[in-house]
Homo-oligomer: A and B are copies of this chain.
Amino acid sequence: MKKKKKNENSSKIFEGHDHGACFGDAITLIEDYFIEKKLQLTPLRRKVFEILIEDHKPLGAYEILDSLGKAGFSSSPPIAYRVLDFLMEHGFVHKVQGLNAFIACSNPEHSHFPTFVICRKCEKVAEVSDEKTRLNLSSPEITDFKIEKTTIELTGICSTCENAEIR
């Protein structure tokens, strides 16, 4: 199961990738994690995660509910929110606050404080590990505060969209 890490040496966060491998790897990873932690990867939870990892972009709760409905599950709001909360607790899903939407984690192997880079034009979203973009939290202003969770979202325009805008 040891695959080459995706985009390891790339400087382009919005590049494509081998999504088949990405999908398979992610499923394996969540299965293993759930077994190890003695959690139930129920059909509902699996389906929600699959919907997110398949689309590989942020989806609103009600979009997820639509998909769930089409797949034969209940599609009442609490269903989605409960499962999403659960998956978020365990680091397999993040919420993109600026879009009121949810996205499968691109790198659940790391315990991390992810940064999301969001193009306002093409609406692509990239998750960047905190190893790459790191807040300077050493300033004395923050020493009397214990950080439990971070929301870091960078909105702007990707080079592809910017080049398109110029002409």
Instruction: Say yes or no for A120: interface residue by CB 8 A criterion.
Output: yes
Kindly supply a per-residue 1/0 record for chain A positions 128-140, scoring 1 wherever the CB is within 8 Å of any chain B CB and 0 otherwise: 1000111111011
Residues of B within 8 A of A137 (CB): 133, 154
Stretch at the interface among A9-17, A52-60, A86-94: A9-17
6 closest pairs, A vs B, by CB? Answer: A11-B140, A97-B97, A148-B156, A144-B159, A151-B153, A132-B139
Chain B contacts for A12, CB-based, 8 A? 144
A162 to B147, CA, bound (A): 12
By a beta-carbon cutoff of 8 Å, the part of chain A in contact with chain B is 11-14, 97-98, 115, 117, 119-120, 126, 128, 132-137, 139-159, 162
> A97-B97, A140-B11 are contacts. A117–B145 as well, Cβ < 8 Å?
yes
Q: How far is the CA of A117 from the CA of B126 in the complex (A)?
A: 24
In the complex, A156 Cα to B151 Cα: how many Å? 11
The answer to whether B155 touches A142 (Cβ under 8 A) is no
